[in-house]
Amino acid sequence: MAVLTPRSEDFPRWYQDVIAKAELADNGPVRGSMVIRPYGYAIWERMQADVDARIKAAGAVNAYFPLFIPESYLRREAQHVEGFSPELAVVTHGGGKELEEPVVVRPTSETVIGEYMAKWTQSYRDLPLLLNQWANVVRWELRPRLFLRTSEFLWQEGHTAHADQADAAAYARRIALEVYQDFMVSTLALPVFVGRKTRKERFAGAINTLTCEGMMGDGKALQMATSHELGQNFARAFDIDYLGADGARHLAWTTSWGSSTRMVGGLIMAHGDDAGLRIPPRLAATQVVVLPVRDDEKVVAAAAQITAELKAAGVRASLDARPGLSFGRRVTDWELKGVPVRVEIGPRDLAAGNTTLARRDTGEKSTVPLSEAAGRVQALLDDVQDSLYQQALALRDSRTTDVTSLDEAVEAAATGFARLPWRLVGEDGEARLAAEALTVRCIQNPDGTLPDGTDDADDLVCLVARSY
């Protein structure tokens, strides 16, 4: 009687089981809405704190813009409104009356922020203007999946204005690499392919979209974050211009970039196993749980002491001495929740002056003297962080196949990613792939780095996969 549906049997079902059993989220009352439970929200808060610090390190500052946007704003940028219209939630009534102009619930904030950027940008001295906001957005979804695709989700959206295209392009690139990729690699222990989206897959209104694509446990791709060069499209629509040093008026160049609660879904699917979630130590709100094996005064006292020592050493540790729950039950609970390391202590350990350390990533256990426990735990946490990354990387490498034709790509993408020269695909190829439920996830340089600009140089490669 397994706790969860095995991943190999039914991956989507496994995903839902993990969310329910680890108490991450529930469906909301309105179809497509999501209730994020405390344990799931704690994961998001840790992600937020880390991403927020990186955004600030990149020079952007936080602000807040309204949830309601005049419908007319959306219309000002043709591609933008075309891209978002089908998924807009529109408010037609307020205060008991029909509104003269409907307002939309923001699906993203380029338009309102553009309006204010235009006010705030007078001189070249006001640039670059680097803004970010943490907010909820609404995109009415027909096929909701908790964390991955819900009608309302939480995210961070950055919006910047620059004096010239090169500066805007460099910033969009910097965000993709230094904020998103580095966060995913260093904190989420998740390797990502960073590349450029095809013209077809671009954000509505962008001239270039950069993406971080992760591989999930079933070989499907998940777009984990995106960074867009918006060219002068929004600057033109919202009159974001400035007086240059040359005394002439110039149109600004803008960017936008976002990462969302979808990353929680990526975390689950990239690292989870048949026993539940596996949270990388650097992300985990609880890094270590200390479990007394029996409800015995001495054992519990020893467990409490280890917990205190760990905390004093800077480890995020907690004690689980809940009476009435068997040891096995508590172990299973924390495995489901993905806590990286367990410290177990029972009468036998105590008599020998030992404690048992168990790592979540491999299940491996070791016995160490009580006096050394705190120090060993620190080292173990570093090990788990590294090992989760290596496991995710090994999976991705083993399921990424270099191919030389579209037919081979279709075959390889049945189980993972196919990499092939972009010139073999092109827009016609994309249409053919779409018929097989496949998409070009991103375009890269042959060495896997992010291409500069948007030119279709001859040697570019692309990654093709099924995706969420």
Partner RNA sequence: CGGGACGUGGCGCAGUUUGGUAGCGCACCAGACUGGGGGUCUGGGGGUCGCAGGUUCAAAUCCUGUCGUCCCGACCA
C-beta separation of 62 from 133 below 8 A: yes
Residue 359 or residue 419: which is nearer to RNA going by CB?
359
Q: Cα-flanking dihedrals φ and ψ of residue 159, to 5°?
A: -140, 125
The C-alpha atoms of residue 338 and residue 286 are separated, in whole angstroms, by 9
> What b/e sequence results for 454-463 when a residue is b if at least 16 CB atoms lie within 10 Å of its CB, and e otherwise?
beeeeebbbb
Strands of 89-94's sheet, edge to edge? 68-70, 97-105, 89-94
Question: DSSP assignment of 333-391, as one string?
Answer: HHHHTT-SEEEEE-HHHHHHTEEEEEETTT--EEEEEGGGHHHHHHHHHHHHHHHHHHH
Q: Which amino acid is at 234?
A: F
Q: Around Cβ 101, how many Cβ atoms within 10 Å?
A: 8
User: Which one of 161, 283, 345, 464 is in contact with RNA (CB under 7 A)?
Assistant: 345
Q: How far is the CB of 245 from RNA (least distance, A)?
A: 36
Q: Is 207 in the site for RNA (CB under 7 A)?
A: no
139 binds RNA (CB under 7 A): yes
Size of the site for RNA (CB under 7 A): 61
* Under rule CB under 7 A, residue 383 binds RNA: no
With CB under 7 A as the contact rule, the residue among 260, 286, 307, 444 that binds RNA is 260
Contact 25, 35 (CB under 8 A): yes
133 interacts with RNA by CB under 7 A: no
Q: Which among 308-316, 341-349, 442-450, 454-462 is the span making contact with RNA, rule CB under 7 A?
A: 341-349
CB 427 within 8 A of CB 199: yes
3-state helix, strand, coil in the chain (%, to 5): 40, 30, 35
Shorter beta-carbon distance to RNA: residue 118 or 271: 271
Contact map string, positions 141 to 180, toward RNA, x by CB under 7 A: xxxx---xxx--x-x-------------------------
> Smallest distance, Å, CB 163 to RNA?
27
Residue nearer to RNA on the CB measure, 220 or 419 = 220
Could you say which of 13, 31, 249, 298 contacts RNA (CB under 7 A)?
31
Residues between 268 and 287 with contacts to RNA, criterion CB under 7 A: 275
CA angle at residue 135 from 129 to 137, to 5 degrees? Answer: 110
Q: Which two tokens stand for residue 418?
A: 């196919």
Residue 233 binding RNA, by CB under 7 A: no
**Residue nearer to RNA on the CB measure, 96 or 328:** 328
Q: Of 119 and 348, which CB lies nearer to RNA in the complex structure? A: 348
Q: What is the C-alpha separation between 160 and 230, in angstroms, rounded?
A: 10
Least distance (Å) between residue 239 CB and RNA: 25
- Sign of the alpha-carbon dihedral angle for 170, 173, 178, 180: positive
Cβ distance to RNA smaller for residue 30 or 379: 30
User: What residues does 228 pair with on adjacent strands?
Assistant: 209, 256
DSSP letter at 47 equals H
Q: DSSP assignment, residue 449?
A: P
CB of 392 to RNA, least distance (A): 19
Closest distance to RNA from the beta carbon of 205 (Å)? 11
Among 244, 347, 421, 426, binds RNA (CB under 7 A): 347
Interface residues for RNA in 208-227 (CB under 7 A)? 211, 223-226
| Separation of alpha carbons 266 and 192, rounded Å | 11
Pairing verdict, β 439-444 and 241-243: unpaired
**Min. distance of Cβ 225 from RNA in angstroms?**
6
Q: Determine if 350 is a binding residue for RNA (CB under 7 A).
A: yes
- Cβ at position 436, least distance to RNA in Å: 10
Look at the block and give the residue holding tokens 């580095």. 182
Residue 358 lies near RNA (rule: CB under 7 A) = yes
Please report the beta strands in 305-353, taking only residues with DSSP state E, as ranges in sequence order: 317-319, 341-345
Which residues sit at the interface with RNA, rule CB under 7 A? Answer: 1-4, 21, 31, 83, 86-87, 139, 141-144, 148-150, 153, 155, 201, 203-204, 211, 223-226, 258-262, 275, 293-295, 323-329, 331-333, 335-336, 344-350, 356, 358, 363, 365, 434, 437
